[in-house]
Amino acid sequence: VAIFVQIDSASWRSPNYDRHNDGSPVLITPAGLLLHSSEGTQASDLPWLCSSRSLVSSTYYINRAGAIYQLVADNHRAWHAGVSSYDGLVDWNLAIGIELEHRAGQGAYPPAQLAALEQLCRAKIAQYGILRERIAAHRWVAQPPGRKLDPSDWSDADLRRWIARLFQPQIRRFVATYTTPIYESREHPDTVALNGRAVLLPGDVFEVDQDAGGWLHLANGVGFIPAGAAKEQL
Ligand SMILES: [Zn+2]
């Protein structure tokens, strides 16, 4: 399943990744996803991560508004983990590094930023077959233990729950804008679902676990409705 994520890969690029002596990039296969908080703001974070003087970078940067910038290619070894080892992976620079614009004390991450992070993680999990245990917080992998605390304002328990959710179908909330029958299948759209109500009325709110080919599949399993009859509740 291809997941569409809007990524700005042009505005900011970092030179901080491994190269061979001839200058060509060392190519890797991403081994996981490593989450960071920048402990700064975009205005200073992006120039720093993209400066050859800083010797640090990340693969992606997500600002508080949810815009995603790609600084380094997925198959280049960006410099975000430092000395690291966790759960059998000894170099977490081999993971895709994701920096979140966030400072300790700012509290909960904005919903738009979390939504962008979730979309990006889901896309990379699908693209590279990344395992659940290869998604980690910087503080879990940094050596020696205690060297890093990020991502800040995100407890281990909450983060583990959030990671577990990435491996469940994504449930999105929609609201019906037109009266529409619920169809049992897309192949035979004349068959109305018999279980429960057979129509959705304008204003009905419902959950969707699949959005493809012009159809929305209801998360309760009853059937499909045409995508044009509803809009997502954000
Ligand atoms: Zn970090």
pLDDT one-digit tens code per residue, 94-129: 999 999 999 999 999 999 999 999 999 999 999 999
For residue 137, report the distance from its CA to the centre of ligand 1, in Å.
8
For residue 62, report the distance from its CA to the centre of ligand 1, in Å.
13
Question: What does the angle CA 212 – CA 230 – CA 118 come to, to the nearest 5 degrees?
Answer: 55
For residue 36, report the distance from its CA to the centre of ligand 1, in Å.
4
Active site residue 99: yes
- What is the predicted pLDDT for the residue at 212? 77
pLDDT surpassing 80 at residue 86: yes
For residue 151, report the distance from its CA to the centre of ligand 1, in Å.
7
pLDDT surpassing 50 at residue 175: yes
Between residues 168 and 154, the one the model is more confident about: 154
- What is the predicted pLDDT for the residue at 42? 98
Those residues whose beta carbon sits under 5 angstroms from the ion ligand 1 are 36, 138, 150
- What is the predicted pLDDT for the residue at 3? 58
Cα separation, 35 vs 100, in Å, equals 8
Contact 14, 78 (CB under 8 A): yes
Cα separation, 133 vs 150, in Å, equals 18
